[in-house]
Structure 1
């Protein structure tokens, strides 16, 4: 197939000149009409001696169609060639997205499980903390009850003075003067405001315990505040208990110091001390010992109770020691113990007691428990009372204007036994007071000073 234009040469074959051969006579050219412009711009397809002529528009349409079909064929071939890769990439992308979603879902589920577990753990911890606070509060309340029930050490000493008006009215009346209160032993009386203080220090019990996890942001802060409050209450309780124990120990040291200062045999006197008051009491004897699993607080309570028992026994023993004043008011001596100038003879003489300055008729009180051995007139003593306190201790009260007891009477501390006077060998109203050990007169101020030390804080 060949394409030729109409303006090509009429000669189909080119024959070269043969210079060797003589020139042949050429035939004269045929005269043909000239082609038209339309014929010059058209295209001819020749095949096997046949020619097909068509215009440029058709030609370019055919060429464009062929190009388009070729491009389409190339694109289709490329698509089919790379289709597997594209699908693979798409599938991989879809799988990656699916895996990512699954991982995200798994992560959210794990987070949810962790959150749920954390909530359950927080709720369990909250319940444990709350239960711990409740148990601790119960223990502190029990300790507060123990502290409230624990008595305070009442400092004892000399007889407390009464108002002068009451004394004058009593002395002017015909009735027997009533003895003013005197503490011969340590009286355990809790202050009325102590229980209130302990209750105010103890936080209110928690009645409504939440059964579900409380989602309040300030819940932990509340628990911390409760713990802090309980810590403060426990600290105050320990401080109070330490103060009570120290006070008891100081008290018992002072009480034992009285016997040491006076040179008295404590063991002997404790054997002669009166037994504790009896009533409807009894039961088998069980030795006291602290529990094996007792905490520090309980052991300290145990020590304090033992000390209290010792103090009570020493109090009963000290009730036989005349270390109190026989008259009310401030101590004022008109004459001391020892050598002095005799008021009647003006010569040196031994004064075996103390002369307390007092008014006529002032009540005279027993300075210790005992029994009346003598009550009546006794030479220079005038009207005199002698009380035996046991263990060789005795006291004498002389120059009385009135005697209100008789021989054999059992006397209690602070009991009024007579009235101040000026009977016997006396220059005026006063009380002659003696203390004797095994019949020998000793300085009463020694006993009075021991009583002052005992009553001091």
Structure 2
């Protein structure tokens, strides 16, 4: 034990060597002497061991004490660490595992989200591809329909026969036909040869498919919607056009059959007798549409049937003399029926129509036929008679000049002679007759049929 140097006992105390401790000395009573030396000795610490004394200062003493305390604390901490090391490691490992599991769960969640997003994108892409494919197929279908519609020719208005020959230079177009009463002298204008101009059958070009930039800018759904709306409009126009063509064909066919019935003519006989140009080829029957065919295909089939029927009726009408025998505006100088004979002044039957004209004006055939008489025929003077088949014939009298020859086939509008005043005539005019089975009928009946056929286009 340390003791201060100023307190010595008279007899040093011996320590047993096997105990390792030394007995402290009793402090001496202070002796009189100088005080500074006593104070210096009091501020130091003295250690005795094995008969030796070691004196140290207070700073060193506390350094030693601090070191001993630090070593003790370190030893205690070390012991505590080793004692609780397993628990700490276990908690650290558990915490690390928990963090790792949370991280893995987050990664799995993000991966699942990416997979869902990718799947949705793939599904959207697949749906877009399907819609685009449907639009492409629909556009192809509309284009094929437009191609099928383009094969429909422009058909002439019922009652107008388009001549294959180039019209004569002196032929002039006429205005609308104006029928006149039998016994009145009025202006009579024959029906013109007109052609029906059906509504354009070429649908608007289908819009091109949207580009990638356009699809990105407007959105895929918006682009497809606009494209489908455009195709809807094209399809509606096609259907409307087909409906108009079908209705036009059917109305013309009804009108033609009605005219032939009113004239008392058999359509089948006229169709069989109608001349045809050089045609031919193997017979390929027209196939009717199947039960599951579209409405467009069924309607197109009906239109083709109506078109074929119109062709037959048009050929039949080429044999019907419903056109006027002169060009331009003309006057009736005498009608069909009972009248006063210009030479005898007695009632007589007038078997035709008298068209006022000038000598030398052209006279034209009113229907296809064959010349059976061309020469002088009593009261007719210079006359040409044309047989149109099925009992139909026409006569052109009082001609100043005959151009047609017996046995010659004539076409509609072909010049067969010139107006004159030969035979029983009081002045230049054309005496025109229409006959059925040799019996004279009113030519105005045929001319009005021409008005009906041409005016309802």
Structures share fold, TM-score greater than 0.5? yes
Q: Which moved more, 1:437-446 or 1:333-342?
A: 333-342
Once the two structures are TM-superposed, the CA of residue 77 in structure 1 deviates from its matched residue by 12
Hey, what's the Cα distance between the residues in 2 that align with 1:123 and 1:312?
52
- TM-score using structure 1 length: 0.69
Hey, what's the Cα distance between the residues in 1 that align with 2:324 and 2:161?
5
Once the two structures are TM-superposed, the CA of residue 448 in structure 1 deviates from its matched residue by 1.0
CA contact (8 A) 1:154 1:186 kept: yes
| Partner SS state of residue 344, structure 1 | coil
Gaps of 5+ in 1: 1-70, 168-181, 207-213
Hey, what's the Cα distance between the residues in 2 that align with 1:190 and 1:184?
18
Once the two structures are TM-superposed, the CA of residue 323 in structure 1 deviates from its matched residue by 1.0
CA contact (8 A) 2:156 2:162 kept: no
Q: Which moved more, 1:240-249 or 1:149-158?
A: 149-158
Hey, what's the Cα distance between the residues in 1 that align with 2:350 and 2:145?
56
- Cα 1:186–1:306 shift into 2, 3 Å: farther
Hey, what's the Cα distance between the residues in 1 that align with 2:79 and 2:115?
54
Q: Which moved more, 1:149-158 or 1:307-316?
A: 149-158
Hey, what's the Cα distance between the residues in 2 that align with 1:187 and 1:273?
24
Matched, 1:203 2:193: no
| Partner SS state of residue 356, structure 1 | strand
In structure 1, the residue matched to 2:248 is: 247
| Partner SS state of residue 332, structure 1 | strand
Once the two structures are TM-superposed, the CA of residue 116 in structure 1 deviates from its matched residue by 2.0
In structure 2, the residue matched to 1:299 is: 298
Deviations 1:223-278 (A, max 9, x none): 42322222222222222211111111111111111112x34243542463235322
Once the two structures are TM-superposed, the CA of residue 322 in structure 1 deviates from its matched residue by 1.0
- Cα 1:340–1:92 shift into 2, 3 Å: farther
| Partner SS state of residue 432, structure 1 | strand
In structure 2, the residue matched to 1:290 is: 289
Matched, 1:360 2:359: yes
| Partner SS state of residue 315, structure 2 | helix
In structure 2, the residue matched to 1:342 is: 341
- Cα 1:383–1:288 shift into 2, 3 Å: farther
Gaps of 5+ in 2: 1-72, 174-189
Hey, what's the Cα distance between the residues in 2 that align with 1:415 and 1:254?
26
Of residues 144, 148, 157 in structure 1, which corresponds to 2:160? 157
Q: How does 1:261-280 map to 2 (within 5 A)?
A: 262-270=262-270, 272-274=272-274, 276-279=276-279
CA contact (8 A) 1:151 1:189 kept: no
In structure 1, the residue matched to 2:115 is: 113
| Partner SS state of residue 231, structure 1 | helix
In structure 1, the residue matched to 2:140 is: 138
Deviations 1:104-136 (A, max 9, x none): 211211121122222322332333233222222
Hey, what's the Cα distance between the residues in 2 that align with 1:320 and 1:80?
129
Matched, 1:281 2:281: yes
In structure 2, the residue matched to 1:433 is: 432
CA contact (8 A) 1:342 1:348 kept: yes
In structure 1, the residue matched to 2:381 is: 382
Hey, what's the Cα distance between the residues in 2 that align with 1:339 and 1:226?
72
In structure 1, the residue matched to 2:215 is: 219
Hey, what's the Cα distance between the residues in 1 that align with 2:355 and 2:270?
31
- Cα 1:313–1:82 shift into 2, 3 Å: same
Hey, what's the Cα distance between the residues in 1 that align with 2:452 and 2:322?
10
Residue correspondences, number = 407
CA contact (8 A) 2:354 2:430 kept: yes
Hey, what's the Cα distance between the residues in 2 that align with 1:183 and 1:455?
6
Hey, what's the Cα distance between the residues in 2 that align with 1:279 and 1:272?
15
CA contact (8 A) 2:320 2:388 kept: yes
Once the two structures are TM-superposed, the CA of residue 298 in structure 1 deviates from its matched residue by 1.6
Once the two structures are TM-superposed, the CA of residue 378 in structure 1 deviates from its matched residue by 1.4
CA contact (8 A) 1:162 1:328 kept: no
Deviations 1:130-173 (A, max 9, x none): 32222222222211111112112212438999776989xxxxxx
Q: CA-atom RMSD, angstroms?
A: 5.0
- Cα 1:450–1:183 shift into 2, 3 Å: closer
- Cα 1:122–1:183 shift into 2, 3 Å: farther
- Cα 1:280–1:391 shift into 2, 3 Å: closer
CA contact (8 A) 2:383 2:395 kept: yes
